[in-house]
Amino acid sequence: MEHAAKAMSELARLATEAESEAARVAAIKELFDRGFGKARQGVDIDASVTGELTANLHTVEYTIVDPATGPGR
């Protein structure tokens, strides 16, 4: 954390004073990502994977609970 304040100050300086427009845009993007969080990105999931994933999640749930006395036993 010691260097975090210096790093943020340098990004702010680059955002306003860098000679290259690309460097200014990159610095602004980094500042926004840190200040507001990165934008959400969607993920496409194949429907055939969903059923298999659900089955695996149930297996994990029953394993965490006692398999002999867990729900549905």
The tens digit of pLDDT for each residue in 24-73 reads: 999 999 998 888 888 777 776 665 555 455 555 555 555 555 556 655 55
Lowest mean pLDDT among 4-8, 16-20, 42-46, 49-53: 49-53
Give pLDDT, residue 18. 95
Within this chain, do residues 51 and 69 fall inside the same structural domain, yes or no?
yes
Give pLDDT, residue 41. 76
* Segments forming the whole domain that contains residue 55: 43-73
Give pLDDT, residue 58. 54
Within this chain, do residues 8 and 31 fall inside the same structural domain, yes or no?
yes
Quote the number of domains for the chain: 2
**Cα–Cα distance between 8 and 1 in angstroms, integer?**
11
Instruction: Tally the C-alpha atoms within 13 A of residue 13's C-alpha that lie toward its C-beta.
Output: 6
**pTM listed for this prediction:** 0.50
Give pLDDT, residue 46. 61
Within this chain, do residues 31 and 47 fall inside the same structural domain, yes or no?
no
